Chain A
Amino acid sequence: MSLSSTPEPSRKPSAAPTGRPVSLAGVFTASLNKLVAWMQANSIWPLTAGLACCAIEMMATSASRFDIARFGSEVFRASPRQADLMIVSGRLSWKMAPILRELYDQMPFPKWVISMGACASSGGLFRTYAIVHGVDHVVPVDIYVPGCPPRPEALLDALIKLQKRIKSGSYVPAYARPPWKQWLEAPDR
């Protein structure tokens, strides 16, 4: 049997071995989305980007009592290239702002941001010259967690809410919504 004698495999899909019609492939694509969303939601890897007091509560969340591993997020990554979730934990100074933005830019898509605590969400107590009054001036925020600092349960709640949104399949991350969408698509970027 020579190679040349074998017929070219048809580009058209043939019937599945079970004899079911091929059109079911469309259904399979839809459930792949769901499968991917399910996998994304249950293995959100956060970035180790502790800024201030809230970072200590973030560490407490990852430790044994609150055990963030129950929700698949125990793998805190030091490199933004391997992280899905940025937890901005603490006050952001203007000096740190460019670095935080650079970290965000280095994270692969899709990516989410939790703004943890009053300082990150609005500047909180510290309405001073040195502090960014809300990290949403710098990065697109998906979920805000109130508290000063928020309890670990509050952070877990934010994580679960984010998981639900991702699992729903219809959630548009903050970077893909206005005003960030326009900035992302701007030609001079």
Chain B
Amino acid sequence: MDVGVQQATLKELVSSRLGSLAESVDEINGQAVAEVTAVNLRPALSTLKESPELKFDYLSFVSAVDLYPRSPRFDAIYNLYSTQRHHWLRLKVPVAEEETLPTVSDLYATANWHEREVWDLFGITFDRHPDLRRIVTSDHWFGHPLRKDYPVEGRGAWPLGANVLQNIAEEGMADQADIASSEMGPARHITLNMGPQHPATHGVLRLALELDGENIVDCIPHIGYLHTGIEKLSEHHNWTQNVTHYGRMDYLSPMNNELAYCLAVERLIPDLEIPKRAQYIRVLMSELTRIISHLVWLGTHALDIGAMSVFMYCFAEREKILDLYEMVGGERMMTAYIRIGGCAADVPEGFEEAVQGWARDFQHNLDINHNLLTKNPIWKERTVGIGVLGREESINAGISGPLARAAGVDWDLRRDNPYSSYEEFDFDIPVETAGDVYSRYLVRMEEMVQAHRIVLQALEKIRETEPGTHVSRNYKYVPPRREDIDASIEGLIHHFKYWTEGIPVPTGEAYGFIEASKGELGFYLVSDGSARPVRVKVRGPSFSNLSALPRMVQGHLIADVVAIIGSIDIVLGEVDR
């Protein structure tokens, strides 16, 4: 597939459709980028969405970059995708500090949460936004953390020491008062707080539920209880160190995060060739990761609905894959195995046999769960027809991954925009049309089978490549080999400089994306040519998927909320970052 030609025609198409609405249309690192002014933003988005050749129906994320001391200070970023034509476009809108932007949450429902996040972290106001509150920091937070003048360790708004308990007690009380006053509906409705400490919210999600009897009238998710400031921290660590953070973001699929970040960085470095062996190892590991992520989803989802033994079977199976993780990366979960330029090490001796040993029993072990659940009348009673989200609605809400495929969106980045040599693999993409909890279950179960297929193919392909080519030979961007460090002073100096100074990544910007276990996981990076990024925006699939929760739960019972949350498969580490 010739990406260059396709991008060139896309660029021409976009500039002809937008006409005078766009200030400029460029191609940066193989991706189309259009610059528009704040006044033209809404007309431009409507045009791009409606135009039959472009059909940008899916808003991947809204974010911003603080380019202080440039004037205007910020660039707002709108990343668009077409689920029919499978092409990407980034809109850039320069915004000064005192300026506002029009909201686009009526065009794309997903923009609602994304704009709130931009307001929270950058302080850019969106006119006519329906609910412009802070989202990841607490309501009483001071300042906007992702601005360049905000220190990474905070402003000391929370002094550690004698007053800390007093402070947090007041904060907790203020939060309670908020639920009681602002979220209460009509008098006969009651407001129920669910979480952030609740066994079925999969972490620290808090829901304020408005109930009529046991029926849910409204649901307001509160997130940010695991807000870590990973994006801020990434601006203060260098490109190579940053790989370490992202495994801890979506901690159910650590290697997927590393892969998405490394692909984004590699897009910024045009002369970095990734050897085939490294690409196949990456495919193998990311498919194993998909399986462990889905196993945790299945185990906890079934546990929430009341099937205890499934949890035990899933975790027993997961342990076997964690052993494989340990073989290649040395740790059970946070391996930081996938690095810029390839992988940290070659696969060890005996790895192939270990994977085959696991693969032999996998189908059988998955069938145990199938037999327990798929035709189980209780399971079907709890899942069929619950939490339905239609096709158009889910695209508009920015939903990706198994959730979208369960609603009939036939879209998988591995097939439609292949990365890391996925085009060489043979696999099917399960699509269901009902869009309920049960079809999400079926999609994920089938995805595990397909992932298993890909793993076996990848193993074949790894065998055909030359051992030791697990990382690029472009030593400007990868650490020197052990032999070189031992044999020459240049090698030693290189090693020292590589790990202390980091690598100079060329100036530019890029968006790297993968089909993670939960959907479209992307990293938008901005580099100024130094060893540290200017901006790392993480587009986590769970964030957008979770934002559609209120539409899914309305009209259902409280017990169904548990099933629906389980079916979205959220990881709060990725939602809050």
Interface residues of A (CB under 8 A from B): 48-53, 55-57, 59-60, 63-65, 76, 78, 80, 90-91, 93-99, 101-103, 125-131, 133, 137-138, 148-149, 151, 183
**What's the nearest-Cβ distance from chain B to residue A97, in Å?**
5
Do the beta carbons of A129 and B151 come within 8 Å of each other?
A: yes
- Chain A residues lying within 8 Å of B164, measured Cβ to Cβ, are 137-138
Label chain B's interface by main secondary structure: loop
Interface contact B224-A63, CB-CB below 8 Å: no
- Distance between Cα atoms of A52 and B254 in the complex (Å): 13
Most buried by B among A98, A131, A183: A98
Q: Which residues of A contact B296 (CB under 8 A)?
A: 56, 59
Q: Which of B's residues lie within 8 Å of A, judged by CB?
A: 137-138, 145, 150-155, 158, 160, 164-165, 168-169, 171-172, 175, 196-199, 203-204, 224-230, 232-233, 244-245, 248, 251-252, 296, 300, 311-312, 315-316, 318-319, 322, 332-334, 572-573, 576
CB distance from B58 to the nearest CB of A (A): 29
CB-defined contacts of A97 to chain B, threshold 8 Å: 168, 171
B150 pairs with A148, CB closer than 8 A = no
Contact B228–A102 (Cβ < 8 Å): no
Residue of B145, B196, B248, B572 near A125 (CB, 8 A) is: B248
- Closest-by-CB residue of B relative to A179 is B162
Bound CA–CA A19/B324 (angstroms): 67
Question: Is B332's CB under 8 angstroms from A129's CB?
Answer: no
A-B interface contact total, Cβ < 8 Å: 135
Do most interface residues of chain A lie in helix, strand or loop, or is the interface mixed?
loop
Q: Across the interface, which residues of B come within 8 angstroms of A90, CB to CB?
A: 226
- The docked-state distance in angstroms from the alpha carbon of A48 to that of B195 is 12
Q: Which residue of A lies closest to B254 (CB)?
A: A53
A95 near B228: Cβ-Cβ < 8 Å: no
Contact A52 B316 (CB under 8 A): no
Q: Which residue of B lies closest to A54 (CB)?
A: B251
Most buried by B among A49, A96, A102, A149: A96
> CB < 8 Å: which of B151, B160, B199 contacts A133?
B160
Q: Are B196 and A63 in contact (CB under 8 A)?
A: no
Q: A93-B227, A97-B168 are in contact. Are A129 and B573 (CB under 8 A)?
A: no
Q: Which chain B residues border A56 with CB–CB below 8 Å?
A: 251-252, 296, 333
Q: Are B244 and A96 within 8 A (Cβ)?
A: no
Query: Is B315 touching A183 in the complex (CB atoms < 8 A)?
Result: no
- Nearest to B224 among chain A residues (CB) is A95
Q: Is the CB of B155 within 8 A of A129?
A: yes
Name the distance in Å between B121's Cβ and chain A's nearest Cβ: 11
